[in-house]
Structure 1
Amino acid sequence: MKLAPGDMAPVIAASTIHGKPVDLPDSVQRYAHLQFRRFAGCPVCNFHLLTMSRRQAEIAAAGIRQVVFFHSSREEMLKYQAQLPFDCVADASKKHFKAFGVETSVRALLNPRVFWSGLRWVLTTGRLYRRAENGILGLPADFLVDAQGRIVACKYGAHADDHWEVDELLQLASKEPQLAQTASDVAPVMPA
């Protein structure tokens, strides 16, 4: 079952690949950006996270905590995600993927952007993956969750390279209070 803006996000109690607790909702941060990626060595996912990590200071300044889930083991993730400046969670059993309605599909590979994004990772780093834990057909998903656990915005990817870019994420976070204010401004007034 897919989730939608306005829904309450499933509660998360997990640990990062470095043993740091991840509890959501997170009342300390204004938002949590939950990214559901594919397998740890996925060149498309890793290129995307490389671009996200380069702008992590801007993301953090906007009050956004990044939490990235992979359907891989901690050991496999440490080979690829250990250096990232945000929280990365191993979910080899796909517990959190299922709770958020994140799916797999052959469509994951059927877009030219997937090839080019993966190729950029290989050319940038010279790295190839050797294992694809839980397969190569995972689809990505992004969720922006507020401090109370409400989903502000979400995107279920149609293919492996279909996710929010940094500018989209920052725009969503900057618009959300205005959207909430606009909605309350036009709410019907009940007669006394």
Structure 2
Amino acid sequence: MSRLRTGTTAPALPAADAAGAPLPPVPPGGLTHLQFRRFAGCPICNLHLRGFAVRHPELRAAGVREVVAFHSPADELRPYAAGLPFPLLADPERRLYRAYGVERGARALLDPRVWPSIVLGVLSGVPQVLRGRERLPSARPAGGRLGLPADFLIDADGQLLAAHYGTHAADHWPVARVLALATEHRPATEPTPATAPEPEPAAAGPDPD
């Protein structure tokens, strides 16, 4: 799969999310942060998305529409969508993943940098499962466990402004990075036309005799 380059047109997104609801529109002059996650119930993904849910008002205020894709079927993904303030896309056939060049491989879990995130994701997810707010992932998730994350920032016209392809399962943009990119790529406001200076009053001539 070939990776996308910034400055090109991003592949179109599906019209509806995993629940069958239409995707929310991009705010006027706003941006879309499209992130590719792994499988439904992935502990690393759940931990990551909880952080985005908490700070979602900041993202909206910055004009960012958040959209998250999983390589899980819709029926597996829908229970995890409850309580999240942004849409989840179900892509079990990985069509969108291929279109965006999102990869998978053993390095997703074998890279030592991901291990702390796995432990933290599991430990933080246990209370959520006990409270009935989350479910345990499938023992054999659709699409496997070797997916790699990716992040894309897209403007309202569909142009790809920034892209990040993860090198392991926890290599993704944090909220702060998305907000910084939104500030960097925010459309410049139109300058106020300069007001022409008023003409100086004509100098008075000499008094006639």
Per the TM superposition, whether the score is higher than 0.5 is: yes
- Structure with more of its chain in helix, by fraction: 1
Distance 1:3 1:140 in 2: 14
Question: Mean Cα displacement is larger for which, 72-81 or 151-160?
Answer: 72-81
| Other-structure match for 1:129 | 137
Residue 18 (structure 1) aligned with residue 19 (structure 2): yes
* Alignment-mate amino acid for residue 179 of structure 2: L
| Other-structure match for 1:154 | 163
Distance 1:62 1:27, change over 3 A: closer
Distance 2:15 2:162 in 1: 22
Distance 1:133 1:117 in 2: 21
3-state secondary structure, aligned to 2:85: coil
Q: How far has the Cα of 1:5 moved from its partner?
A: 1.2
Q: Quick check: 1:14–1:89 contact (8 Å CA) kept in 2?
A: no
| Other-structure match for 1:165 | 174
Distance 1:178 1:18, change over 3 A: closer
| Other-structure match for 1:78 | 78
* Alignment-mate amino acid for residue 106 of structure 2: V
| Other-structure match for 2:57 | 57
RMSD over aligned Cα atoms: 1.9
| Other-structure match for 2:3 | 2
Q: What is the aligned residue count?
A: 178
* Alignment-mate amino acid for residue 176 of structure 2: D
Distance 1:107 1:68 in 2: 22
In structure 2, stretches of 5+ residues that fail to align are 130-135, 189-209
| Other-structure match for 1:175 | 184
Distance 2:82 2:141 in 1: 17
Residues 1-48 of structure 1: per-residue CA shift (max 9 Å, x gap): 110211110112331122212388x47460000011111111111111
Q: Tell me the TM-score normalised to structure 2 length.
A: 0.79
Residues 152-187 of structure 1: per-residue CA shift (max 9 Å, x gap): 1010000100000000000011012489xxxxxxxx
3-state secondary structure, aligned to 2:171: coil
Question: Mean Cα displacement is larger for which, 98-107 or 9-18?
Answer: 9-18
Q: Quick check: 2:30–2:186 contact (8 Å CA) kept in 1?
A: no
Residue 138 (structure 1) aligned with residue 147 (structure 2): yes
Distance 1:29 1:50 in 2: 26
| Other-structure match for 1:185 | none
* Alignment-mate amino acid for residue 156 of structure 1: Y
3-state secondary structure, aligned to 1:105: coil
Distance 1:11 1:23 in 2: 14
Distance 2:35 2:95 in 1: 14
* Alignment-mate amino acid for residue 174 of structure 2: E
Q: How far has the Cα of 1:50 moved from its partner?
A: 0.8
Larger Rg: 2
